[in-house]
Amino acid sequence: MTLLQGKVAIVTGGASGIGKATARLFASEGARVVVADTHEQAGQAVVDLIEQVGGQAFFQAVDVRRDEQCAALVAATLERFGQLDIAFNNAGISGTPGLTEAQSLEQWRLVLDVNLTGVFNCMVHQLRAMKARGGSIINTASIMGLQGTPGAAAYSASKHGVIGLTRSAALEYGKHGIRINALCPGYVTTPMTTGSDSEFNARTLEMALKTVALRRLGEPREQAEMALWLASDNASYVTGAHFVVDGGVTA
């Protein structure tokens, strides 16, 4: 229960899905957590859940497309909690499904801005804050960052981009004791895949399930466990790598 005792963690996209499960798990392991998201009500609800069981957290409204908001997130963390040890850059969107030729430039840009540039914006300020004492950064990519996905070119490109960014940053910051890795979830029961605004319908979800060796969707908690391990000192020799939690889809 104390894997992250004394540590301070930022979780972007922390109001729902994988981010919510991770924020709660980090807090249960002793971390003080900053829950960052565009959804204020849901984000504050996660903070309440954490505090109800004796944890420490606060919510910060952040649109990761805005550099100044990412800067303010790190500044607020340092001001409130005095340090920054862990960042889970997890905020992301799925985009509009459709063939590549049917994507508008706006739709393309939106996905790239949130999923890739958003991670970049967050990392710039986190790296500056972590240089003195080291730290662990986990960026949520996807199995779609490792293989192609018809109908999701922008999402796939953005997630491949997150992996490239992660690897390069790891090479640069290893000497400062900052470890940087990517989490690659498969199909997980979250608002993004099974919510009302999700691009999956019953049929496409059924088809996706056929590719899962474990024959089921994943739980957000199962992704959170990987993020926890990567955030902890157990991962002391781990950097610049990607960690696939997908029930065997990419096997």
Q: Is 236 in the site for another protein (CB under 8 A)?
A: yes
**Amino acid in position 4:** L
Site membership for another protein, residue 167 (CB under 8 A): yes
With beta carbons less than 8 A apart as the criterion, state whether 243 and 182 touch: yes
Q: How many of the chain's residues bind another protein (CB under 8 A)? A: 37
Residue 175 touching another protein (CB under 8 A): yes
Is residue 208 a contact point for another protein (CB under 8 A)?
A: no
Nearer to another protein, 101 or 233 (CB): 233
- Of 15-23, 40-48, 192-200, 218-226, which part binds another protein (CB under 8 A)? 218-226
**Which single residue is written with the structure tokens 């994943």?**
218
Establish if 205 lies at the interface with another protein (CB under 8 A): no
- Set 155, 173, 187, 237: catalytic member: 155
Residue 13: CB minimum distance to another protein, A? 19
Check residue 222 for interaction with another protein (CB under 8 A). yes
Which amino acid is it at 184? C
Among 68, 131, 168, 207, binds another protein (CB under 8 A): 168
Cα–Cα distance for residue pair 17/233, rounded to 1 Å:
25
Residue 155 known to be catalytic? yes
Max Cα–Cα distance, the chain, nearest Å? 51
Is residue 250 involved in binding another protein (CB under 8 A)?
A: yes
- Least distance in angstroms from the C-beta of 124 to another protein: 19
User: Any contact of residue 239 with another protein (CB under 8 A)?
Assistant: yes
By CB under 8 A, which span of 93-101, 106-114, 198-206, 221-229 interacts with another protein?
A: 221-229
User: Contact with another protein (CB under 8 A): which of 174, 198, 204, 209?
Assistant: 174
Site residues for another protein, 108-127, by CB under 8 A, read none
Q: Which residues are catalytic?
A: 155
Q: Which residues of the shown chain bind another protein in the complex (CB under 8 A)? A: 167-168, 170-175, 179, 186, 212-215, 218-219, 222-223, 225-226, 229, 234-241, 243-248, 250-251
